[in-house]
């Protein structure tokens, strides 16, 4: 299995920059937390946690980028949300998990080269962020 699977699409490990996968697993969420007059924080955790996965991809050809984007877009549950059920390794518990994630709206395509017709031929490094719903 790839380090990250978006729906049924294995994100290609060979296109991920070595040493640049960051996982923030099981981020706890609270409801109506507060700090009292003595400085003690009172937290009221909710059962659902959120995981965040981020990485940078290496420079690649336009064909490879089209393959990635085709794999991602064909697995959208809701195109407006850019979401899918994703599989990843949870470093906190040492197990593989599946969660409902979305591709963050901060996605930017780093166009490195274009041909005379204006068609992209190469992409530079790109930052990807997936956040659990």
Q: What is the pLDDT of residues 47-83, one digit of tens each?
A: 888 999 999 999 999 999 999 999 999 999 999 999 9
Q: State pLDDT tens for residues 22-41.
A: 999 999 988 999 999 999 99
Among the listed residues 62, 133, 64, the one whose alpha carbon sits nearest the alpha carbon of residue 104: 133
d(CA 56, CA 121): 19
Q: Where are the domains of the chain?
A: 4-132
Among the listed residues 1, 29, 4, the one whose alpha carbon sits nearest the alpha carbon of residue 99: 4
The rounded mean pLDDT for the chain is 95
pLDDT at 1 over 80: no
The whole model's pTM is what? 0.89
Tell me what pLDDT residue 42 has.
Answer: 94
């Amino acid at each position: 299995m790839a380090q990250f699977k978006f729906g049924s699409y294995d994100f290609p490990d060979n296109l991920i920059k070595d040493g640049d996968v960051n996982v923030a697993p099981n981020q706890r969420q609270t409801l109506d937390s507060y700090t009292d007059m003595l400085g003690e924080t009172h937290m009221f955790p909710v059962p659902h946690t959120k995981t965040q996965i981020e990485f940078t991809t290496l420079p690649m050809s336009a064909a490879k980028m089209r393959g990635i984007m085709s794999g991602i877009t064909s697995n959208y549950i809701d195109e407006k949300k850019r979401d899918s059920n994703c599989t990843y390794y949870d470093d906190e518990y040492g197990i593989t998990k599946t969660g409902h994630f979305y591709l963050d709206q901060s996605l930017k395509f780093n166009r490195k080269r274009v041909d005379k017709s204006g068609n992209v031929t190469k992409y530079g490094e790109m930052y990807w962020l997936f956040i659990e719903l």
